[in-house]
Structure 1
Amino acid sequence: MNNSKSGKLRKTLTVTLAATMALGLLSGCNGSKAASEKEEKVLRIGMMYGSSDDSWFRQQYTDIFEYTNPNIKIELVTAIDNNQYRYSDGSEPYEQPDQLESMKKIMTGSNPVDVVVADTGTLKQLIEENLVKPLDPMIQEDKFDTSDFVPAVIDGLKDLGGGTLYGLAPSFSSSALYYNKKLFTDAGVEPPTDKSTWDDIFNKARLVAKGEGKDRVFGFSFNRYRGQDPFWDMQYSYMSGLQLKTFDDKAETMTVNSPQWIKVWETISKLAKDKIMPDNSSYDPNEPWTPLSDDLFLSGKVAMTIEGSHYINELADANNNAAKIKNFKPVDWDVVTMPVHPEKPDVGGNINLSNTFSINNNAPNAEAAWQFIKFVNGEEFAKLKSRSNTYEMVSRKSYIQPKQGLSYNIQAFYSLKPFPPTNAKTDKLMMEKPGLYSVTTVGRIYFQQVMENKKTPEEALKEWAEKGNKMLQEIKLNPKTQFQEDGTPFVPEEATKG
């Protein structure tokens, strides 16, 4: 059979399989209200960002639903059109759109959207403003089973609504701690375990780190890449669990001069200075490039690192092609949960719910909206997507299986609760006052002074607080104020016009 015929046959089989699967989904998910199913409806789904090319979202979520529900036509609506920036000639100053206000516009007015797709931060704001419907009454009425949802997902969503569900998420992305089994065996050290504290992990990192110069093997890194920066690397995974703030909720006073901040800077700076974890000085631009040279974990240069579940594919591919890679030996690895802080032993999963599905309080077609949300969060849909989603996991744990036939601790990716979303008021302040980003950025100067043994963490944080308070005062006097790298204030020319 020639290639063109075989290609057509594959396409035919794919369409047939999709149709067969769709019919199964239809029988499993649409078994009531026959009269209303015959009525033609337009279901409007609103999302924060998008463009004229909505093929990805339709392929992921709506194509099969429309096939199984021929009386419902899906219309996608975006709050912020990405194309408006693509074709800008730069003559007009860029203004960060207000995400919440943009979303509210498509949820109100004469033709509001029915379904709202948002991340958890946006969903929390919508809940606080009473803009989305609680789903619990519909879940109870239809006896929709949520017991199979990963606790980290369902509990995280309930936390947003104070114990009430206002949205469901069919999938999630997550990180865990990967470790090299051989490096631990060689060092005679017990490997990490689930829910280890950060201090436990850092202590083990000291025991397995070894070697000097280019042969150095680090005990731990916040990510797998060369050329790391401890100041930024510690912000997300380590500090998010402590929920430390740089300044107060009004952006008027710095909060970094505290015992908790001092302990964080002491801990991380010492790990970097002692070469237990890599920093910028660990990167040698003259080192010969190889397919794995930028990956510290795969190249055997670090014993433990944090990565997402998608990294499993790269590990498997490298190990499967080991014979083709010069000076590479397959890595014997496993994963455990992200480390935790003792005061929050069940939180720290780096779990991201980028697409939560909710019902607009003003939805003209609330019943159809629930039908769609129930569909994409149902068991049959999870079964289908569990085989095709590369970068995320389905939220129903019965269909979460190890990738590529491997055996590893897959529960590590969903055993912990996610960090709470950032404060909505802080997010709004950051958009209204862009200079606030520099208040955080300038902190790197003071952290570097600690790294160079020019200042103690306590001295550096005190100076950062003093510098930051001056910057916050400048912003208070003029919200358009921005800063150079050293914290020198200026007002962009376009901000002075009009």
Structure 2
Amino acid sequence: MKNIKSSVIRKTVSVLLATTLFGSLIVGCTPNKQSDQPKEKVLRIGTIYGGPDDSYFRQQFTDIFEYTHPNIKVEIVPAVDYSQYRYVDPEKQSQDPIDYVESTKKLLTGDNPVDVIVGDTNIVKSLIQENLLKQLDPLMQEDKFDTSDFVPTVIDGIKDLGDGSGLYALSPTFSSSALFYNKKIFQDAGVDLPKDGMTWDEAFDLARLVAKGEGKDRVYGISFNRYQGGDPYYDAMTYSAPLQLRTFDEKAEKMTVNTPQWEKVWSTISKLVKDKIVPTNDQQSNGKVEAAASYNPIQGDLFLSSKVAMTIGDSNYVTELNDANKNAEKIKDFHKVDWDIVTIPTHPEKPGIGGNIYLSNLMAINSNAQNPEDAWEFIKFLNSEEWAKIKSRSSSYEMVARKSYIQPREGLTYNIQAFYTLKPVPPANTRDDQLYQKMPNLWLVSDQGRTFFQEVIDNKKTPAEALQAWEKKGNEMLLEMKNNPTGKPAEVKPAN
């Protein structure tokens, strides 16, 4: 019996040894799946600013790319790490302001340069001028990457950054505004509804026809934003932004505000304020701050309160309007707003330009990229039709750049093309950034105009007289800063 057991054990051990050996041979002859996988590559993406937590940027752009490209590891590298300024004295920060352009250039030219840079129009234009970005047109032609579905707002705006010589970046998203109008106010006044392609003068003429009432019952014709408490000086700057009027010359040595163009801007906006066509905080409260009697979810929104016939709003305002209308029965003394939109009015001197359009997610390839192939793969993927289709379903303050996937929200019907018909205002002179770095208090010269503009509204000066006074005071301030770049020049105190 003992011999039988020993025989069985020996056979069992022999089988196990054979099986183990056979298994080893199979493993030895079977290709290693892991060794067949592509080697992991690193794609370095530069951003203008960031910090220890880059989760938002990754959620927006890189998570889905890494999921679909498992062999590519993305590194996010900010040009300016804002977290470090938490530990710096504020006074020292003001004396040593951040130079975003120079910081970004270092990302592209250092020992370990980034492959992709993501930035706004000012940054990208500066980099193009320094020949630091790769032109994308040859890559697009080789891969037959079609941009015909991109809205002109985006493509034309990007081309302008390179002075029309080609595309040096692509942007998967953009933000934009339009002119919202209240149909009922126009219909009750018997006035034609606003239309696309209006000039500012045409829009102001309509505004005068529908403005009515006095005091708290006043309905204003137009506002440059929908919030209560309008700032006339800021309104003037918003209105004139497409004209790109300069406050001082390119060397910050001489004021440039005493001109017919500036006088027209100040005359136009100040008259609208005096005639109560545009709202200001003083006009609505008669100089008094009044506490709300009870909670009102639309308090301060002049358009939702039907206190203004036309207002400028961004694409996300559509959601707010729709939400308020759906909850109308819960809001005291609120009536649903029947609204639509048209393109923001333009200046005849700058046809087709306006709309408060921003391209803040421009993606470009570094001319010195270590991994240019994957850099293009990343840009191509983020600007693809597939990505736009997915992104268009999520709620965002920005719109996708492909017009096939720009659809009215929540089943509404409105003139959505108004958001992407106009071209963005070209970036300002990039040398201005250097001036503000050299003279950190230079902004005070521009802000000084507020005091003189208020004198126009108060009928203490004509627009021409106020601009002459601003020119004189501004020149004095510029001279002070030329002699002491970091010093704070004397300002004009607001008149009582």
For residues 427 and 282 of structure 1, what CA distance do their matches in structure 2 show? 37
* Offset at residue 432 of structure 1 (A): 1.8
1:301 match: 307
Asked if the contact 1:438/1:487 (under 8 Å) is kept, the reply is: no
Cα pair distance change 1:42/1:93, threshold 3 Å: closer
Classify the secondary structure of the residue corresponding to 2:133.
coil
Q: What one-letter code is carried by the residue in structure 2 that aligns with 1:211?
A: G
Q: How do 1:252-331 and structure 2 match up within 5 A?
A: 252-284=253-285, 285-288=289-292, 290-331=296-337
Q: What one-letter code is carried by the residue in structure 2 that aligns with 1:197?
A: T
Classify the secondary structure of the residue corresponding to 1:380.
helix
Q: How do 1:140-219 and structure 2 match up within 5 A?
A: 140-163=141-164, 164-219=166-221
For residues 426 and 239 of structure 1, what CA distance do their matches in structure 2 show? 18
For residues 93 and 133 of structure 1, what CA distance do their matches in structure 2 show? 34
Asked if the contact 1:174/1:350 (under 8 Å) is kept, the reply is: yes
* Offset at residue 105 of structure 1 (A): 1.3
Q: How do 1:437-448 and structure 2 match up within 5 A?
A: 437-448=443-454
Asked if the contact 1:228/1:278 (under 8 Å) is kept, the reply is: yes
Percent identity, aligned pairs only, is 62
Asked if the contact 2:226/2:311 (under 8 Å) is kept, the reply is: yes
Asked if the contact 2:132/2:366 (under 8 Å) is kept, the reply is: yes
1:5 match: none
* Offset at residue 478 of structure 1 (A): 1.3
* Offset at residue 280 of structure 1 (A): 3.1
Q: Does 1:48 align with 2:48?
A: yes
1:353 match: 359
Q: What one-letter code is carried by the residue in structure 2 that aligns with 1:154?
A: I
Tell me the alpha carbon deviations over residues 281-307 of structure 1, each in whole angstroms, 9 at most, x when there is no partner.
124221525221200000010000001
CA RMSD of superposed structures (Å):
1.6
Asked if the contact 2:225/2:313 (under 8 Å) is kept, the reply is: yes
Classify the secondary structure of the residue corresponding to 1:211.
coil
1:373 match: 379
Q: What one-letter code is carried by the residue in structure 2 that aligns with 1:40?
A: E
Q: Does 1:480 align with 2:486?
A: yes
Q: How do 1:382-461 and structure 2 match up within 5 A?
A: 382-461=388-467
Classify the secondary structure of the residue corresponding to 2:222.
coil
Q: Does 1:87 align with 2:93?
A: no
Q: What one-letter code is carried by the residue in structure 1 that aligns with 2:108?
A: M
Tell me the alpha carbon deviations over residues 183-232 of structure 1, each in whole angstroms, 9 at most, x when there is no partner.
00000000111110000000000000000000000000000011111101
Asked if the contact 1:222/1:234 (under 8 Å) is kept, the reply is: no
Gaps of 5+ in 2: 1-34
For residues 257 and 162 of structure 1, what CA distance do their matches in structure 2 show? 29
Classify the secondary structure of the residue corresponding to 2:240.
coil
Q: What one-letter code is carried by the residue in structure 2 that aligns with 1:228?
A: G
Q: After the TM superposition, which of the residue ranges 285-294 and 53-62 deviates more from structure 2?
A: 285-294
Q: Does 1:235 align with 2:198?
A: no
Asked if the contact 2:176/2:356 (under 8 Å) is kept, the reply is: yes
Classify the secondary structure of the residue corresponding to 1:80.
strand
Q: What one-letter code is carried by the residue in structure 2 that aligns with 1:362?
A: N
1:466 match: 472
Cα pair distance change 1:165/1:93, threshold 3 Å: closer
Cα pair distance change 1:326/1:218, threshold 3 Å: same
Cα pair distance change 1:339/1:91, threshold 3 Å: closer
* Offset at residue 477 of structure 1 (A): 1.1
1:26 match: none
1:362 match: 368
Q: What one-letter code is carried by the residue in structure 1 that aligns with 2:122?
A: G
Cα pair distance change 1:467/1:36, threshold 3 Å: farther
2:349 match: 343
Asked if the contact 1:176/1:412 (under 8 Å) is kept, the reply is: yes
Tell me the alpha carbon deviations over residues 395-444 of structure 1, each in whole angstroms, 9 at most, x when there is no partner.
00000000111100000000001101111001221222122111111111
Which has more radius of gyration? 2
Cα pair distance change 1:487/1:440, threshold 3 Å: farther
2:140 match: 139
Asked if the contact 2:236/2:266 (under 8 Å) is kept, the reply is: no
Q: What one-letter code is carried by the residue in structure 2 that aligns with 1:328?
A: F
Asked if the contact 2:392/2:405 (under 8 Å) is kept, the reply is: yes
* Offset at residue 106 of structure 1 (A): 1.4
* Offset at residue 133 of structure 1 (A): 0.3
Misfit runs of 4+, over 3 Å:
87-94
Q: What one-letter code is carried by the residue in structure 2 that aligns with 1:299?
A: S
Q: How do 1:57-136 and structure 2 match up within 5 A?
A: 57-88=57-88, 90=90, 92-94=92-94, 95-136=96-137
* Offset at residue 104 of structure 1 (A): 1.3
Asked if the contact 2:120/2:361 (under 8 Å) is kept, the reply is: yes
Asked if the contact 1:100/1:122 (under 8 Å) is kept, the reply is: yes
1:16 match: none
For residues 167 and 215 of structure 1, what CA distance do their matches in structure 2 show? 50
* Offset at residue 483 of structure 1 (A): 3.3
For residues 434 and 217 of structure 2, what CA distance do their matches in structure 1 show? 46
Asked if the contact 1:471/1:487 (under 8 Å) is kept, the reply is: no
Q: What one-letter code is carried by the residue in structure 2 that aligns with 1:121?
A: N
Q: Does 1:38 align with 2:38?
A: yes
Asked if the contact 1:252/1:472 (under 8 Å) is kept, the reply is: yes
- Give the number of aligned pairs: 453
Cα pair distance change 1:93/1:395, threshold 3 Å: closer
Cα pair distance change 1:139/1:93, threshold 3 Å: closer
Q: What one-letter code is carried by the residue in structure 2 that aligns with 1:43?
A: L
Asked if the contact 1:220/1:276 (under 8 Å) is kept, the reply is: yes
Cα pair distance change 1:456/1:304, threshold 3 Å: same
Q: What one-letter code is carried by the residue in structure 1 that aligns with 2:381?
A: F
**TM-score normalised according to structure 1 size:** 0.89
Q: What one-letter code is carried by the residue in structure 2 that aligns with 1:53?
A: D
For residues 284 and 36 of structure 2, what CA distance do their matches in structure 1 show? 64
**TM-score normalised according to structure 2 size:** 0.89
* Offset at residue 233 of structure 1 (A): 2.1
Cα pair distance change 1:37/1:213, threshold 3 Å: farther
Asked if the contact 1:313/1:403 (under 8 Å) is kept, the reply is: yes
Classify the secondary structure of the residue corresponding to 1:240.
helix
Q: What one-letter code is carried by the residue in structure 2 that aligns with 1:461?
A: L
For residues 270 and 198 of structure 1, what CA distance do their matches in structure 2 show? 14
